[in-house]
Structure 1
Amino acid sequence: MITSNMWQETVNMFLFLTLELTTLFLLISYLVGVLQMYIPPEKIQSILSDKHGKGYFIAGFLGAITPFCSCSTIPFLKGLLRAKAGFGTMMVFLFASPLLNPIIIGLFAVTFGLTVTIFYFAVAMGVSIVAGYSLEKLGFEKYIKPEAYIAPAAKNGKTSCCGTAKPINKWQQIWQTTWTDFKKVLPYLIGGIAVGSLIYGFMPTELVAKYASNNNPFAIPVAAVIGIPLYIRAEAVIPLSAALAAKGMGLGAVMALIIGSAGASLTEVILLKSIFKNTLVVVFLAVILSMAVLAGYLYQFLF
């Protein structure tokens, strides 16, 4: 039964996510622009280049130390694309960053203990590196949209009343590029937030626990699939998972839910469509789902 409380939760989540993700996107895009101004593309290429495989591990650990959620990873990814960093290392960063950010790891350790946290970290890092390496070797770079490599052209000045251009400083140029980027992804962002908020408001935790309990042989893949449209922030995914475990969800399914929700939110998938062709978006989802299911079954087997 639909209640007024469900609508209130949906509206509150929509307003909260809109404000938060808009702020994050603009802030991170601007910071990336500043970094690009001081760090030349050649330096980024050098850091993330494949030197006997080191670039993949560097990208994974770079993702682990950056406190990005799945959506706020996108502006950084655009910066790497425009810096022409290696495709494989960029994909490693894309997979690892939202799953291994310090907030999730810290909450994981406090809630589930050090052993489970190390297991989670090892699976997420390992699959991210293997997937990034494999996608590069299989030639999936061709599924990036050509316009994703091109930075929006910033105007060189403002036109005065007399028709002459007033020069603007480098900080204003970075802001213009950031704002142009933001306007391009805004429809995707709002659409993803709207759908995610509806799911958040109208999908009770009891329903998730029912279909992902230990009695369901498909509990782990069900939890992984549910996790993707159920956008959950890093600060909320661990406490929610602990609550679901208390309601009877198997810990393997809890692991799959965490990876699915943190690794590939609906909003992120919609944003990725602005820079990836459909084939690469589908492959990205397949990697996250495979990682979630693998972690769930491995956890169930080992623990």
Structure 2
Amino acid sequence: MTITSEMIEQTLSMFAFLAVELTLLFLAISYLVGVLQEYIPASKIQAILSAKKGKGYIIAGFLGAITPFCSCSTIPFLKGLLRAKAGFGTMMVFLFASPLLNPIIIGLFAVTFGIKVTVFYFVFAMGVSVLAGYLLEKLGFERYIKAEAYEAPKTCCGSSCGSRPKPINKWYRIWLSTWSDFKKVMPYLLLGIAVGSLIYGVIPTEFIASVASDNNPFAIPVAAVIGIPLYIRAEAVIPLSAALAAKGMGLGAVMALIIGSAGASLTEVILLKSIFKNKMIIAFLVVILGMAVGAGYLYQWLF
């Protein structure tokens, strides 16, 4: 395949757009989490996401569903929950559900594919998110969280860390914590954006549709796998999926592509390296791929 100047231009444009958007989004979400932590005690968050008899898992799922986060902006919120020592299983439910069930993607889903498809998508994604969070906690995967993920960022309030700290405005203190967090994840963020932008600019939609058509018995798992490195915002994944369906991609494969791309973008996976050990990241990917493939085949079978 020949790389044209148009492909290079699209790649660079996407990189610039995502770098600016995700940087601002990450900083904004991180700062908001800091503000919330200033006013909402950690014990309150822990209580909400640690309810007994399964209530905490359901609450975490619906909390994820009402927060308009993409897969990357969920990370700073997750860090806040870790520092608040919320329940591990409920945090994982939130991590799975938030990018897949946010109001933006559900609204676009309903407009593009209709209520029946939307209800199927919501129920399946919510059910798998809750089940996965419960099982991961019972299997002891909490031990694969890095110790430093629980630590609040250290900031210096004086001329140096060794000097006596000077009183500072709480808003500025929250900003120092936010900036410290961002500096830690910035290399991961830029690497993920670079790879995702390259794939976005070089691989044409016609190729994706051809390898995931109804004639391909492996269309659904292929679509799910393609979706992960193809970072797509919630606002774009539905229109793109509709275009691919019009080009011949089956709706089961479309469902798998949406879940793969919205639920576990390459950028998110790279960002998770700052929180999780490799075994936890593998488990995360297995859940998202399993959800994507399962939703695709079940939809194809039911409808």
When normalised by structure 2's length, the TM-score is 0.97
How far 1:237 moved relative to its partner?
0.2
How far 1:52 moved relative to its partner?
1.0
How far 1:35 moved relative to its partner?
0.5
Match of 1:229 in 2: 229
Residues 77-226 of structure 1 mapped to structure 2, 5 A cutoff: 77-158=78-159, 166-226=166-226
- For the 8 Å contact 1:153–1:177, the answer to whether it is kept is yes
Match of 2:4 in 1: 3
How far, CA to CA, are the matches of 2:289 and 2:264 in structure 1?
Answer: 9
Q: Deviations over 1:226-257 (max 9, x none)?
A: 00000001000000000000000011000000
How far, CA to CA, are the matches of 2:159 and 2:179 in structure 1?
Answer: 16
Aligned residue type for 1:62: L
Find out whether 1:75 has 2:76 as its counterpart.
yes
How far, CA to CA, are the matches of 2:254 and 2:155 in structure 1?
Answer: 46
How far 1:164 moved relative to its partner?
7.1
Match of 2:298 in 1: 298
How far, CA to CA, are the matches of 2:233 and 2:288 in structure 1?
Answer: 17
How far, CA to CA, are the matches of 2:115 and 2:46 in structure 1?
Answer: 35
- For the 8 Å contact 1:213–1:248, the answer to whether it is kept is yes
How far, CA to CA, are the matches of 1:28 and 1:164 in structure 2?
Answer: 30
Q: Deviations over 1:28-51 (max 9, x none)?
A: 000000100101110001111131
- For the 8 Å contact 1:157–1:168, the answer to whether it is kept is no
Q: How many residues align?
A: 300
What is the identity percentage for the equivalent residue pairs of Structure 1 and Structure 2? 79
Runs of 4+ residues deviating >2 angstroms: 154-159, 163-167
1:167 aligned counterpart, secondary structure: coil
Aligned residue type for 1:2: I
How far, CA to CA, are the matches of 2:293 and 2:282 in structure 1?
Answer: 16
How far, CA to CA, are the matches of 1:157 and 1:40 in structure 2?
Answer: 27
- For the 8 Å contact 2:112–2:242, the answer to whether it is kept is yes
When normalised by structure 1's length, the TM-score is 0.97
Report the CA distance shift for 1:130/1:136 in structure 2 as closer, same or farther (over 3 A).
same
Q: Deviations over 1:113-168 (max 9, x none)?
A: 00000000001000000000000000000000000000012223456xxx875421
Backbone CA RMSD of aligned residues: 1.0
How far, CA to CA, are the matches of 2:232 and 2:43 in structure 1?
Answer: 36
Residues 54-65 of structure 1 mapped to structure 2, 5 A cutoff: 54-65=55-66
How far, CA to CA, are the matches of 1:155 and 1:58 in structure 2?
Answer: 37
Q: Deviations over 1:201-223 (max 9, x none)?
A: 00100110110000000000000
Residues 6-45 of structure 1 mapped to structure 2, 5 A cutoff: 6-45=7-46
1:70 aligned counterpart, secondary structure: coil
How far, CA to CA, are the matches of 2:159 and 2:128 in structure 1?
Answer: 48
How far, CA to CA, are the matches of 1:243 and 1:123 in structure 2?
Answer: 23
How far, CA to CA, are the matches of 1:299 and 1:37 in structure 2?
Answer: 44
- For the 8 Å contact 1:34–1:174, the answer to whether it is kept is yes
How far, CA to CA, are the matches of 2:56 and 2:254 in structure 1?
Answer: 31
How far, CA to CA, are the matches of 1:187 and 1:32 in structure 2?
Answer: 21
